[in-house]
Amino acid sequence: MRRMEEQLRYVARFDVRTGLLNRTSLLKRMAGLLERDGATGPGLALLCLDIDGLRLINDSMGYGAGDQILTEMARRLTQSSGAGEEVARTEGDGFAVLLPGASRDRAWETGQNLLDALTPAFDVDGKEIVLAINGGLALSPGDGSTAEVLLANAESAVVAAKGGATPMTFYDSAMNEDAREHVEILSGLRGAARRHELRVFLQPLVTLADRRPVGAEALLRWQHPELGLLPPGRFMPLAEQSSLICELTEWVFDAVCGLIAEPGTGRTPLPLVSVNLSARDFDLPDLAARLLAIAGRHGVAPAAVKLEVTETAAFASLERTMEQVAALAGAGFQMAIDDFGTGYSNIAQLGRLPADWLKIDRSLLVAAERSETDRAVLAAVASFGLVLGKTLVVEGIETEAQAALATELGCQVGQGYLFAKPMPAETFMGWWQAYRETGVR
């Protein structure tokens, strides 16, 4: 009985996985320090840290892998902390370091040192895993005079850091509204698929020579219960700052495979449909296997789907991208480089990627209409693509003049409002069926 009581007391104070203080103990310790020091004391700094992508590691490598990372992160933080500093685990992928009496400058220096300690790869069963970790700092009494407020504001700073230029930032009162909105959007988005709020829209791709539809791009929309139909610009940038983007990719891919496989009497098969991949998707070691499993579940051949990755994302880590794109292409998926011409990539490197399609960004087309210099840039970009033997798609075509310019430069396929706006999947199915039967768009 005594042993059981001791265990219960331990669980009430400490995180069982890491042996660190838990959230409740952290708040009690903070409250005690704040009460002791009062308004004129040396103050208290709190650093909150968040591991991005831990859920994906659990999903792809098992919870044992995630536990190894948590244990090692606790060890590094404890080892790198100074005298009087206390480390806690505040939630599943969140940690905090209590810095009594730390000035703003010293808190920042300590935070940088701790982030540096977490930078080296984590060894998980012989595999090296590099984690993205963000930090947020809050100092009493200016950022909060109670433990709960100080912790909440430090966590708000973490959210802000995820969308900022640096991995760590100080709390600012202006963050409250933005952070609250970001948290609400992300929180709602996590359950949007389960609540059947996500929608797939499809935008046709047509040949520039005869305006014949040859494919479609799948685009995500969110039917928010209060805000209405949200375009991707309202929520995708936030999703891309976290592992949630990988879950959305899989949802869209699954929905597209469902549309391709959907039975229908006399229905014409859909054209080639493209799905966008994010840079974070390429961090998944089993990306090709995941997508193949989804396609197989629907009985869809990989060749029926085109996977798009932006040029910038593709070259963020070239060797990793090469391996992933080669695996996807080897599995039978068609590959495309999106926003081509905006990332200033090495053309020789681009030629190494097994991608048959290049999508030229709309910004190059718009600029080419305004000056001869920009027109020459677009011509050079198109020429590079043609020399590499790629199919060139120009995005965002809105006028006949733009279509004529793209055709003149040798581009074969166009996408944009001139031809058709993105439409709900059900509407596109009817649009496509009517075209195939009558030849009229």
Q: Which tokens hold the place of 65? A: 């892998």
Query: Does residue 182 form part of some domain?
Result: no
**Cβ neighbours around 411 below 10 Å, total:** 24
Is residue 144 domain-shared with residue 199, that is, in the same domain? no
CATH number for the domain that contains residue 127:
3.30.70.270
Query: Does residue 222 form part of some domain?
Result: yes
Is residue 125 domain-shared with residue 241, that is, in the same domain? no
Q: Which structural domain, as residue segments, surrounds residue 294?
A: 193-438
pLDDT of residue 29: 92
Reply yes or no: is the peptide bond before residue 422 cis, omega within 30 of 0: no
Give the Å distances, CA to CA, from 245 to 236, 281, 318: 7, 8, 20
247-270 per-residue burial string, b: 16 or more CB within 10 A, e: under 16: bbbbbbbbbbbebbbeeeeeeeeb
Query: Does residue 13 form part of some domain?
Result: yes
Is residue 247 domain-shared with residue 149, that is, in the same domain? no
Is residue 346 domain-shared with residue 405, that is, in the same domain? yes
Residue 155's closest CA among 71, 91, 251, 234? 91
Is residue 333 domain-shared with residue 215, that is, in the same domain? yes
Query: Does residue 178 form part of some domain?
Result: no
Is residue 269 domain-shared with residue 142, that is, in the same domain? no
Residues 6+ apart with CB under 8 A from 431: 204, 420, 423, 441
Q: Which tokens hold the place of 76? A: 């590094």
Among 140, 173, 206, the domain boundary falls at 173
- What one-character DSSP code corresponds to residue 205? E
Is residue 168 domain-shared with residue 281, that is, in the same domain? no
Query: Does residue 187 form part of some domain?
Result: no
Query: Does residue 181 form part of some domain?
Result: no
Contact indicator for 267, 211 with CB cutoff of 8 Å: no
- What one-character DSSP code corresponds to residue 121? P
* DSSP of 371-415: -HHHHHHHHHHHHHHHHTTPEEEE----SHHHHHHHHHTT--EE-
pLDDT of residue 344: 47
Q: Which residue has the tokens 């209409």?
A: 369
Is residue 262 domain-shared with residue 119, that is, in the same domain? no
Could you give the 3-state DSSP secondary structure of residue 237?
A: helix
Query: What's the CA angle centered on 226, arms 222 and 232, to 5 degrees?
Result: 25
pLDDT of residue 5: 60
Query: Does residue 233 form part of some domain?
Result: yes
Residues 6+ apart with CB under 8 A from 408: none
Residue 285's closest CA among 126, 163, 133? 126
Can you count the helices (H) and strands (E) in the chain?
A: 17, 17
Q: Output the tens digit of pLDDT for each of the chain's 441 residues.
A: 566 566 657 767 888 789 999 988 999 999 999 988 765 667 899 999 999 878 778 767 777 888 899 999 999 999 999 888 999 999 888 999 999 999 999 999 999 999 999 999 899 888 888 888 999 999 998 888 889 889 988 988 998 888 677 899 999 876 666 666 777 787 788 889 889 999 999 999 999 999 999 999 999 999 999 889 988 888 888 888 777 899 999 999 999 999 998 755 345 578 899 999 988 898 888 899 999 999 999 999 999 999 999 877 776 667 778 889 999 999 999 999 988 766 545 555 666 678 899 999 888 898 888 889 889 988 988 988 898 889 999 999 999 999 999 999 999 999 999 999 999 998 998 888 887 766 555
Query: Does residue 188 form part of some domain?
Result: no
Among 141, 173, 205, the domain boundary falls at 173
- What one-character DSSP code corresponds to residue 369? T
pLDDT of residue 441: 58
Is residue 9 domain-shared with residue 131, that is, in the same domain? yes
pLDDT of residue 249: 95
pLDDT of residue 388: 86
Contact indicator for 30, 98 with CB cutoff of 8 Å: yes
Contact indicator for 307, 278 with CB cutoff of 8 Å: no
CATH number for the domain that contains residue 414:
3.20.20.450
What's the CA gap between 398 and 396, in Å, rounded? Answer: 6
Residue 214's closest CA among 230, 203, 228? 203
**Contacts within 8 Å (CB) and 24+ apart, 373-379:** 375/405, 377/341, 378/341, 378/405, 378/409, 379/409
Is residue 361 domain-shared with residue 214, that is, in the same domain? yes
Q: Which tokens hold the place of 236? A: 């995708």
Q: Is 187 exposed, middle or buried (0-12, 13-18, 19+ CB in 10 A)?
A: exposed
Could you give the 3-state DSSP secondary structure of residue 103?
A: coil
Is residue 132 domain-shared with residue 250, that is, in the same domain? no
Is residue 250 domain-shared with residue 399, that is, in the same domain? yes
What's the CA gap between 331 and 37, in Å, rounded? Answer: 63
Structural domain total, the chain: 2
Contact indicator for 56, 281 with CB cutoff of 8 Å: no
Contact indicator for 283, 53 with CB cutoff of 8 Å: yes
pLDDT digit string, tens, across residues 112-147: 999 999 999 899 888 888 888 999 999 998 888 889
412: phi then psi, degrees, rounded to nearest 5 = -100, -30
